[in-house]
Structure 1
């Protein structure tokens, strides 16, 4: 199995992130090296699944793998419904919180060996997790290998048209970074669709709800299109175009 494009450990080791998960409160930001800040919605992540989340979960099929499950609201909701589900996260604190909520979770990167590879019916990339590793193409190819044939990927995208890769740090104040930089990406729906096509995934639905944007994709199979040969290669096998699509909260 190929290694991730970059080590995910800095995110997991970022003290403000751990503290925020333990308290369930922010503020928390991803801070780009030029001072641009992206607020992280810790309070929502640590709350119960809301109506928008539940609509996403209603669309899930079969066993579900939640990549970057965070504090576990989605895993816990699916487990409460009696669904087969597993969360994975590089943060031990996130995994501990997920299991306390009654959801099964493992302390793993998506690029680590995982249970059920090639048999998951649904994979979730929520809450900005399309940015894992800073290489969307590598992440989507890896996701395609985790999914069963014609499996479903549901990804949450940025609500703006952006295709950005950057070095970021986790911070809990507008002016102070608290860890070493690590690669991250932000993708709007158009960018995700471009990367997905290259990774052997086809779009089946797009929708917006509660100010959030989502895309549903499926692994291409020999029965879906003339791109079957490309799909088979993917299955066998974490520059910005618009870096200012949103105004920064603070420029330090």
Structure 2
């Protein structure tokens, strides 16, 4: 399979700061910092993720078309549907409960097609999306968001100064190691900042190997993933010593947790 195309550099349109947000103690990343030159996706990926989303052809095809069906296939034969049509649409009512809790500069980890980025820009918040799949980044940029093709574990602009970070649509599973991901997000978010996480609706704490499939027998490469309920998330967050519970809510049959950076 040929390498995915490189995403051209794109500078997002400047947005004015939200006057309701106090000035940060640490310099907020500017849009010029966000529009940095990017290496090819394969060079940007951490070894922990290098065989994950960016090589999953059914995932890339669905991102290009905006349509499914699309599934996460487990080794035991179980499959979990991926809601690609919702991710490629405008934010729904449940998404808006997350957007309303965003303050200051926002880092969307695993931004996918960029629906949160567009909505945050409309609220005049500085927002950057990162995703390991170049097709996701290309779609996010076309939609009007600022996005980089980069792993969350790679060097990122604004490290330590983000007011809010997002891990929605199951992205707490990135890398298959939630404690590591929580420690990494603690490095990215400023003290007093917020991490907004979507969790599984049920009590889960799973580490698994999965592949993305289209339901018609085409599968991508296996990669590590995790699925967590809110109880497991809060336990892992407390163990990092960097995060404390700031809130928890349900919307549209989905469950979310807000964590405050110590």
TM superposition shift of 1:180: 2.1
CA distance in structure 2 between the aligned counterparts of 1:187 and 1:25, rounded to whole angstroms: 26
2:18 counterpart residue number: none
TM superposition shift of 1:177: 5.3
Aligned partner of 1:19 among 61, 66, 70: 61
2:236 counterpart residue number: 195
Aligned partner of 1:153 among 195, 199, 211: 195
1:210 counterpart residue number: 252
- Structure 1 stretches of at least 4 aligned residues deviating more than 4 Å after TM superposition: none
TM superposition shift of 1:198: 1.1
User: What per-residue deviation string (whole Å, max 9, x for no partner) do you get for residues 103-156 of structure 1?
Assistant: 100000000100000000000000000000000000000000100011100000
Where structure 2 has 5 or more consecutive residues not aligned to the other structure, the ranges are: 1-44
C-alpha change, 1:108 and 1:168, in structure 2 (3 Å) is same
C-alpha change, 1:160 and 1:4, in structure 2 (3 Å) is farther
What does 1:134-173 correspond to in 2, within 5 Å?
A: 134-173=176-215
Asked if residue 54 in structure 1 is aligned to residue 96 in structure 2, the reply is yes
User: What per-residue deviation string (whole Å, max 9, x for no partner) do you get for residues 35-72 of structure 1?
Assistant: 11011010100001112111211101110000000000
TM superposition shift of 1:8: 4.0
Q: Give the 3-state SS of the residue equivalent to 2:210 in structure 1.
A: strand
Where structure 1 has 5 or more consecutive residues not aligned to the other structure, the ranges are: 221-252
2:134 counterpart residue number: 92
2:83 counterpart residue number: 41
Aligned-residue CA RMSD (Å) = 1.3
Q: Give the 3-state SS of the residue equivalent to 2:52 in structure 1.
A: helix
CA distance in structure 1 between the aligned counterparts of 2:46 and 2:144, rounded to whole angstroms: 29
Aligned partners of 1:12 and 1:92 also within 8 Å: yes
CA distance in structure 2 between the aligned counterparts of 1:163 and 1:124, rounded to whole angstroms: 20
TM-score after normalising by structure 2: 0.80
TM-score after normalising by structure 1: 0.84
